[in-house]
Copies of this chain bind each other. A is one copy, B any other.
Amino acid sequence: MPNSTNKTTSFTYIRNLTCSDCGKEYASDAINTYCPDCQAPLLANYDLAQLRQILKPAQIAARPRGMWRWHELLPVQRQSNCVTLGEGDSALLKLPHFSQRFGIPNLLLKDESNNPSGSFKARGISAAISKAKELGVTKVIIPATGYAGQTLAVYAARAGMQCCIFAPKTSPAAALEESRLAGAEIVLVDGLISEAAGLAGEKARAEGWFDLSTFKEPYRLEGKKIIGYELAEALNWTLPDVIIYPTGGGAGLVGLWKAFDELEALGWLKTTKRPRLVAVQAKGCAPIVKAARNHASFCDFWTNGRTIASGLCAPKSFADQLILRDLYESQGTAVAVSDEAILSTQRLLSEADGIFPSLEGAATLAALIKLIQQKWIQPAEQVVLFNTGAGLKDIAAAFAACPAWTPG
């Protein structure tokens, strides 16, 4: 009876990686990026059947706070390789005044703004940098509009790695400055995130940099998925009716769905009911919304994307098929909101309940208001919004001219 001790013996129970498209297996103890045959993301698999026997939620609850208390379900073999700044265990907050105003009493907001470097990106980057360190990577590169680059810069500094960021010129100034302070090399690109990605990819191949673009390596998703574990734990191993998530690269939504799959396999959920997922995009760059309207299985490239919410300015996610698959499977939907609505709800939430969300986080509130008006969300449903970052980061954008748009 190897399991009779009811204790885990390995730091991780990762088994391998598989292509999200063709299912081909890849090793998790060597550097792998994405499936070259399918040009599709790799997904990490764990020995969930064994963990179901030997790991209990109470053990995880008793550990010191933070994302790494879920280490059996994260990809790192040795604890000494964990590069951490205290990410995870973000607050799940009620929005009493906002709830009352829009008649939705069971409303919660998972506030990711208090992660290191002020955004949810810390989770994925912590996992990916830790695994990269374990596999011997010494220089990392990323195309980024702001948050992700800044976060990579600080984690790379902490890991003692070189860091290079390809950023659109329109990226928020504070994020670029914080990246420079952490010693990263910044290359400003006259174009969108997609152009930055192309140039970063070229440099990576030419000079041997490891590319941490969303879904172009398998482990940022693993850090991100822990949001789903924390949510289920906070809701006493139930899940809400609806989850509204701002969607650029899509790791948040895909990570949540992966967490729910894993939680089901672990036998930890008290319910088989899954939430309906809502992907929120900006009207000026809404490839997922367009694809979902046609029930397409992938996105067209969105040309000339434009929105003040830089995290939403992603013309085509590398994981578009995964995002759309999870949306459809959840009976969810995708919603585009205007920049005016984003700015207006940012201010509204700040005044109402004292949370100053990122523009991307504010977009989830704007989408909520729309979906209530469309009766897609019923007043009694439990809805969870995600504020992905601190509004402070875009303070300049928050004061951009805003036509008199009033929500509700």
Contact residues of A with B, CB < 8 Å? 61-62, 64-66, 84-86, 89-91, 93, 96-97, 111, 114-118, 153-160, 174, 177-178, 181-183, 234, 346-347, 350-356, 390-393, 395, 398-399
Contact B174 A392 (CB under 8 A): yes
**How far, in whole Å, are A356 and B154 apart by their CA atoms in the complex?**
8
**How far, in whole Å, are A358 and B85 apart by their CA atoms in the complex?**
16
Contact A93 B85 (CB under 8 A): yes
Question: Are A155 and B395 CB-contacts (below 8 A) given A89-B65, A114-B115, A114-B116?
Answer: no
What 10 additional pairs, Cβ within 8 angstroms, besides A86-B111, A181-B347? Answer: A65-B65, A85-B91, A85-B355, A86-B90, A114-B116, A154-B355, A157-B354, A178-B391, A390-B392, A392-B393
**How far, in whole Å, are A106 and B90 apart by their CA atoms in the complex?**
28
CB distance from A150 to the nearest CB of B (A): 9
Question: Are A350 and B115 CB-contacts (below 8 A) given A85-B355, A154-B355, A154-B356?
Answer: no
**How far, in whole Å, are A175 and B156 apart by their CA atoms in the complex?**
29
Who on chain B is nearest to A393 by CB?
A: B392
CB distance from A64 to the nearest CB of B (A): 8
Contact A157 B391 (CB under 8 A): no
**How far, in whole Å, are A178 and B398 apart by their CA atoms in the complex?**
10
On chain B, the residues within 8 Å of A356 by CB distance are 117, 154, 178, 181-182
**How far, in whole Å, are A64 and B183 apart by their CA atoms in the complex?**
36
On chain B, the residues within 8 Å of A392 by CB distance are 118, 174, 178, 390, 392-393
CB distance from A212 to the nearest CB of B (A): 15
Contact A399 B114 (CB under 8 A): no
Which of A117, A347, A356: most chain B CB closer than 10 A? A356
Who on chain B is nearest to A175 by CB?
A: B392
Contact B398 A177 (CB under 8 A): yes
